[in-house]
Amino acid sequence: MRKSFVLVFVVLAFCLLSTVLTQAQTVPWMTGEFGNSACPYGCNPFYVQGFNSGPSLMFDITANPIVGDVTWDWQCDDQLRECHGQGSGAITGGDVVGGIYDMNNNFAPRATLAGSVTGGFVLFEEWTGMDNSYWDRYYYSFSGEWTNGFSTVAEAYSSTSSDGGVDEFSLTTYSPEPGTLLTLASGILGVVGVARKRFCR
């Protein structure tokens, strides 16, 4: 009788465990390639947004990378009329914020994102003289947690220049956060082990 009870309990536990693990899925409308191939002058190249048609939801994410020391190398012509500078440095941190909004309810917030920039580097260029211009490129990664249980990891490229900018975000969003699933799965397995020892003596 005890062994039959344990067998049923184990079967039910593993069914629950299987269901939990299969839910560690990506959120399709918040996963993929996002951005602007031609960000007009004055737009924010550290900002990305996306939409879901059903239900009508929108998300946005803003990254704020912090740049450490930048090392510059300048080369000028003999008369110092034209100069070209190249700089490089590390992205040392920064925060990431975002939100999910209900477009059918006056963009009421459904969830918020809090995260951090986890690393990256920058390449800067400047031209002075007849052509005063610049081109700044940021390559970085970030991750964050949403208040609804989602989690997002990303690789991003943002650039600003005298002519405008470009932003490219490669996002992967999970529902729910994989670490939570692992903890829950471990708990289920632990309960199974205790039950087995208790009833199979």
Element (H, E) at 48: strand 47-52
CA atoms within 13 Å, Cβ hemisphere of 62: 7
> Which of the four pLDDT bands, split at 50, 70 and 90, describes residue 179?
low
pLDDT above 60 (res 178): no
Instruction: Give the pLDDT mean for 187-199.
Output: 49
CA pair distance 182, 194, nearest whole angstrom: 18
Distance between terminal CA atoms of the chain? 12
pLDDT at 37: 66
Q: How far apart are CA 60 and CA 58, in angstroms?
A: 7
What is d(CA 92, CA 138) in angstroms, rounded to the nearest whole number? 12
Provide the mean pLDDT of the chain.
82
Q: What is the pLDDT of residues 75-112, one digit of tens each?
A: 999 887 899 999 999 999 999 999 999 999 999 999 99
Does the pLDDT of residue 50 top 90, yes or no?
yes
> In the prediction, which pLDDT does 24 show?
59
Token digits of residue 194: 């205790």
